[in-house]
A = this chain, B = another copy of it.
Amino acid sequence: MTERTNQRKPATGKAVRRGREQRRRIRTATPVVHLPTLVHETPFYEILDAEDVDRIHDASMRILEETGIDFRDAEALDIWKTAGAEISGERVRIDRGLLMGLVNLAPESFTLHGRDPACTVRVGGRNTIFAPTYGSPYVVDLDDKRRYGTLEDLRNFHKLAYLAPGLHVTGAITCEPVDVPVSQRHLQVAYSALKHSTKPFMGATTARERAEDTVAMARIVFGEDYLRQHTVMTSVINCNSPLVWDATMLDALKVYARNNQAVLCSPFVMAGASTPASTAGAVAQLNAEALAGIAFGQLVQAGSPMIYGHYLATVSMKSGAPMAGTPEISQMNFMIGQLARRYRLPWRSSGMVAGSKCNDAQAAYESNMTMSAVLLAGANYVFHSAGWNEAGLSASFSKFMLDAEQVLMFRKLAAKVDLSDLDECVDSIRDVGPGGHFLGTDHTLRNFETAFFMPELLDNNSYEQWLAEGAEDANQRGLKAARAALDRYEEPALDPAVDEELRDFIARRELELPDTVE
C-alpha cells in the first residue's frame, strides 16, 4: 500500500469549471452555505436528578464487574489481560477503577476536519453536529420508487449532504450501492464522499482491511502527516447487545483509533429484546457496553477521539418489530445525555429516525418526536439527521430534504433567546399602540429576515394558492427539492493529482480484492 510521506494541504471547495454552460450555472447558482457547529446557548434538559444518574452508573459498573462483557477477539483479550481485567474465555470483567481510569483518557471534545476548512467542526461539550442517515439497503428514489440503492444514488446523497447547510458530515453508506461488489464497495463509498463533498466523512467498519483502505484514501487526500494529527472521519462501531463486541468491529476500531480517527462506540439497542424491558435497565446496559468499548479504544490508543453512542429502538411486544419515535426513546436520550456529561464524553444519538414505509405523517411524527428530545438532551453527534425511514431499511431522498430543513429549525431552538432589544420592543409597542400592526416599524424592518424561521419546504400559503400551484404534499415538494439541488450541484475542486492517485489506489485494490458478496 502506497503511503504519502509529504504533508498536503487539504484542497478547498472552489467549484470546478468546465466550459460556458458550467460558468452560466455558477453565475446563477445559490452559493453553497456551510453552517458552523451548533453551539447550544439554551440549557440542556435533565430528566433525572444527580442521585438517579449515580444509580444508573452504579448499575452499569456492576454489570461490567459481575457479569462482564465478551470481546470476541484474541488481540483484544490480550490487551485487556495486560491492562489488568479479569479474563475468562472471551468474557472480560472490568473493575470500575480500571474502567473509569481509561474512559477519562478519552478527550472531552475534539475537532473534526473537513477538506475545506469552512467545513471543520467541533464535537463534544456544548457543540452539536448533524450527520445524514446511514446503512440502508433500499432507497426511495427521485421518482418516489422504492428499490435497492446504487452507486449513483449514493453519489447523489453525498452531493445533497454537501449542499445541505445544516449537515456537517457527508456520511458514508447513506445507501448501500448494491451494484458494486461488497468487497470493493468501501472504496467507491470513500471515493464518492471525498470527491463530492468537502465535509468530514465516515469510514468503513465491516472488515479490518476496509478500514485500512479508508485510512489510506484519507492519507492520499489529506497527506500522511496531516492525517496523523487531524481527525477527518468518524466510523460506527456497533456493540452487539447484549454485551458482545465482535472481532470485525474491534478490528475496525483498532485501525481507526491507531490512526487518531474518531469512532462512535454504539450499542445497537432493541429495548425489550436486546436489553431488559425497562428504560432505566436498557440505559444501564448500553452505558456499560459503550464505556467498555471506549475504555478498550483508549487501551489501543490513549487519547484517541471516541464518541459515546447508541442506536435506540424499542421493540413492539406484540410483533417484535423495532419502533421509532416512542416516548421511551426520548426519555433514554435525556438520560444518556446526563451520563455522557458525567463522563465528560462526546455522545452520539440518532435524530430524524422513523419506521414508516413512506414519507408521510408517521415518518414526520416519529422523526420530530425523537429529534426534539435529542436536541434538548444535547447530543453532540446527531446521526441519521436526514433521510432515515423504514427503521433504516430505506433512505428517502424526499425525507432527506425535509429533514435537513427541520435540522435548520432545531438549530434555532438551541439559540439564545435574545433579550437585548426588549426596551426597543416596549418602545415599538408604545409607538404602534392598541389595534395597530408592526409590519412597518423600524424594529421590524431591521429584524424581519432573521426574527422568525421561514421554511421553504413547508407550505404556509392559502389553500387556494396551494391548489393553484399543483396541490403538492410535503413528499412531492421534497422530491422536487432534491432534484433541483442535484441540478444546481457543482463539484468542489479536488487537486487532479490527488484524484488520479485515489483512482489508481482504487484500481489496484479492486484487482487485489476478490469480488465477494459479503
Q: A59-B423, A281-B429, A314-B451 are in contact. List 18 more A-B contacts (CB 8 A).
A: A62-B426, A242-B433, A273-B437, A277-B448, A278-B421, A280-B421, A316-B452, A321-B460, A323-B452, A328-B451, A358-B471, A358-B473, A360-B364, A360-B475, A361-B478, A362-B458, A369-B409, A393-B463
* Cβ-defined contact, B275 with A463, below 8 A: no
A402 touching B361 in the complex, CB below 8 Å, given contacts A317-B454, A430-B67: yes
* Cβ-defined contact, B322 with A460, below 8 A: yes
CA distance A66 to B319 in the complex (A): 63
Report B-chain residues with C-beta under 8 Å of the C-beta of A467.
Answer: 357
CA distance A278 to B242 in the complex (A): 49
Of A367, A455, A471, most B-chain CB atoms within 10 Å: A455
* Cβ-defined contact, B368 with A365, below 8 A: yes
Interface residues of A in 246-287 (CB under 8 A from B): 271-281, 284-285
CA distance A413 to B331 in the complex (A): 7
Report B-chain residues with C-beta under 8 Å of the C-beta of A368.
Answer: 364-365, 368-369, 372
Q: In the complex, which of the residues B280, B402, B422, B462 contacts A418, with contact meaning CB atoms closer than 8 Å?
A: B280
Segment at the B interface, from A4-12, A47-55, A215-223: A47-55
Interface residues of A in 409-435 (CB under 8 A from B): 409-413, 415, 417-419, 421-426, 428-430, 432-435
* Cβ-defined contact, A435 with B317, below 8 A: no
Annotate A473-513 by CB proximity to B: 1 below 8 A, 0 otherwise: 11100100000000000000000000000000000000000
* Cβ-defined contact, B362 with A360, below 8 A: no
Report B-chain residues with C-beta under 8 Å of the C-beta of A229.
Answer: none
- Which 10 residue pairs across A and B have the least CB separation, nearest first? A281-B425, A372-B372, A364-B364, A277-B451, A243-B434, A314-B452, A368-B368, A327-B412, A361-B364, A317-B448
Q: For the complex, is A436 an interface residue (Cβ under 8 Å from B)?
A: yes
* Cβ-defined contact, B360 with A428, below 8 A: no
6 example contacts (A-B, Cβ-Cβ < 8 A) are as follows A43-B46, A242-B434, A272-B439, A281-B443, A285-B429, A373-B413
Report B-chain residues with C-beta under 8 Å of the C-beta of A441.
Answer: 276
Q: In the complex, which of the residues B419, B444, B466, B473 contacts A55, with contact meaning CB atoms closer than 8 Å?
A: B419
Report B-chain residues with C-beta under 8 Å of the C-beta of A55.
Answer: 419, 422
Q: How many copies does the complex hold?
A: 2
Whole-angstrom distance between the Cβ of A450 and the nearest chain B Cβ? 9
Q: For the complex, is A406 an interface residue (Cβ under 8 Å from B)?
A: yes
Report B-chain residues with C-beta under 8 Å of the C-beta of A415.
Answer: 327
The residue in chain B whose Cβ has the minimal distance to the Cβ of A331 is B417
Q: For the complex, is A363 an interface residue (Cβ under 8 Å from B)?
A: yes
CA distance A410 to B326 in the complex (A): 9
* Cβ-defined contact, A433 with B67, below 8 A: yes
Report B-chain residues with C-beta under 8 Å of the C-beta of A277.
Answer: 438, 443-444, 447-448, 451-452
Report B-chain residues with C-beta under 8 Å of the C-beta of A311.
Answer: none
* Cβ-defined contact, A42 with B47, below 8 A: yes
Whole-angstrom distance between the Cβ of A67 and the nearest chain B Cβ? 4
* Cβ-defined contact, A66 with B430, below 8 A: yes
Q: For the complex, is A307 an interface residue (Cβ under 8 Å from B)?
A: no
Interface residues of A in 34-60 (CB under 8 A from B): 42-43, 45-48, 52, 55-56, 59
Q: In the complex, which of the residues B46, B242, B356 contacts A458, with contact meaning CB atoms closer than 8 Å?
A: B356
CA distance A454 to B362 in the complex (A): 14
Q: For the complex, is A302 an interface residue (Cβ under 8 Å from B)?
A: no
Report B-chain residues with C-beta under 8 Å of the C-beta of A274.
Answer: 437-438
